[in-house]
Amino acid sequence: MDTGLTPTAFAPHEDLARLLLPHAADTNDGSHDLVHIHRVFRNAMRIQSQEGGNANVLAAAVLLHDCVAVEKNSPQRAEASRLAADKASGILSGLGWSTDDIHAIAHAILTHSFSANLAPKTLEAKILQDADRLDAIGMIGVARCFYVAGRMGSKLYDPTDPKAEHRALDDRQYAIDHFPAKLLKLSQGFQTETGRMLASERHERLLRFLAEMNDEI
- The enclosing domain of 119 has a CATH number of 1.10.3210.50
105, 113, 107, 131: which is closest to 190 by C-alpha?
131
Residues 198, 212 share a domain: yes
**Which of 132, 160, 180 corresponds to the end of one domain?**
132
Last residue of a domain, one of 132, 149, 169: 132
14-29 pLDDT, tens per residue?
999 999 999 987 677 8
Which residues sit opposite 155 in a β-bridge?
A: 174
On whether both 125 and 145 belong to a single domain, the answer is no
Supply the pTM of this predicted model: 0.92
- If asked whether residues 123 and 142 sit together in one domain, one would say no
Give the model's pLDDT for residue 79.
Answer: 82
Amino acid at 78: A
SS3 assignment, position 174? strand
DSSP string of 11-27, one letter each residue: TTSHHHHHHHHHHH---
Domain that residue 165 falls in: 136-217
Residues 62 and 128 in one domain: yes
Would you write out the chain's pLDDT as a tens digit for each of its 217 residues? 556 789 999 999 999 999 999 998 767 787 788 999 999 999 999 999 999 999 999 999 999 999 887 766 666 666 888 999 999 999 999 999 999 999 999 999 999 988 778 899 999 999 999 999 999 999 999 999 999 999 999 999 999 999 999 999 999 999 999 999 999 999 999 999 999 999 999 999 999 999 999 999 9
Q: Which residues contact 67 (CB under 8 A, 6 or more apart)?
A: 23, 24, 25, 26, 84, 87, 88, 91
The answer on 114 and 151 residing in a single domain is no
Are residues 111 and 195 both part of a single domain? Answer: no
Considering the domain architecture, whether residues 2 and 98 belong to the same structural domain is answered as yes
Domain end marker among 132, 152, 173: 132
In 10 A of CB 39, how many CB atoms?
16
Statement to judge: residues 152 and 118 lie in one domain: no
Of all residues in the chain, what percent are helix, strand and coil, respectively (each to 5)? 65, 0, 35
Number of residues in the chain: 217
Pair 164, 128 in one domain: no
- The total number of structural domains that make up the chain: 2
Whether residue 81 sits in one domain with residue 15: yes
Q: Looking at the structure, tell me whether residues 151 and 119 fall in a common domain.
A: no
Question: Is 105 found in the same domain as 33?
Answer: yes
- 52 conformational bin, left if phi > 0, alpha if psi -120 to 50, beta if neither: left
